[in-house]
Amino acid sequence: MSGHSKWLTIKHKKAKVDSQRAVVFQKYSRELIVSARLGGPDPAGNFRLRTAIEKAKAAGLPNDNIKRAIEKGAGAGASENYEELIYEGYGAGGAAIVVEAMTDNRNRTAGDIRSFFTKYNGSLGATGCVGWMFDQRGIIVFDGSVDFEKLFEAAINLDALDVIEEDDTYKVLTTPENFQSVVEGLEKEGFKAESAELTRIPKNTVEITDEKTADQLLKLLDKLEEHDDVQNVYSNFDISDDILQKLDN
């Protein structure tokens, strides 16, 4: 995963095949349920829910599923009592890993995650053991056709941290605290984002230089991302294209 901007989350993303769609849909449904439960079912007055709806739609979650999840969160019918948890640890090669989970059974989730770390030569640590290695940021992505100068001026006036250009897109960076105000402020200025999310950006990266270690690390992240209770996984590793090519073969 070399060549990434230092501002971007170095995050292992794999293609989701059809057999995994149910797991992906469940993750988005849980976020919708919790967002509606915490802030109410009206996206106009619930920024987190509005963002969750946009992400769910972009992922292909059917409108009926979105509606049912929001109704569950609002108290219509039985609704699981999900809680949000963060797990931190080290993968093979000393890569820092942060796992964001949403679960109705913390003992089950913790046991599963611990077993994944152990199986793939990692170790699950105490809360806070690696979280300090990441900056929490909002990232708002715009198509490259947007007028950069106008976007930059509007974003800075709204107290955004920076605006960067990458891969034919512009990315506005914010703190978690002013993420919502920047998103809504840019919308009022006529800028429609392709996506907007809170993420974790590593302050430094760990270079993985051998195939065995890289294979263990990628398998660990695969298992974590496939777990029903896991919403997001972040890491600070850097793997060369040569090693990735060898592993793909």
Same domain, 212 and 182: no
Same domain, 161 and 213: no
Strand partners, 139: 173, 197
pTM of the model: 0.86
Cα–Cα distance for residue pair 240/91, rounded to 1 Å: 17
What CATH number does residue 55 fall under? 1.10.10.200
Same domain, 197 and 107: no
- Domain assignment present for residue 10? The answer is no
Number of domains in the chain: 3
- Domain assignment present for residue 213? The answer is yes
- Domain assignment present for residue 52? The answer is yes
* Domain assignment of residue 95, given as a range: 83-131+204-248
- Domain assignment present for residue 9? The answer is no
Same domain, 23 and 50: yes
pLDDT digits (tens, 9 = 90+) for 57-86: 988 999 999 999 999 998 865 556 889 999
Measured CA angle at 85 (ends 200, 131), to 5 deg:
35
pLDDT digits (tens, 9 = 90+) for 7-50: 344 444 444 444 467 778 889 999 999 999 999 999 999 999 99
Same domain, 213 and 240: yes
Cα–Cα distance for residue pair 145/75, rounded to 1 Å: 42
Boundary residue ending a domain (73, 95, 115): 73
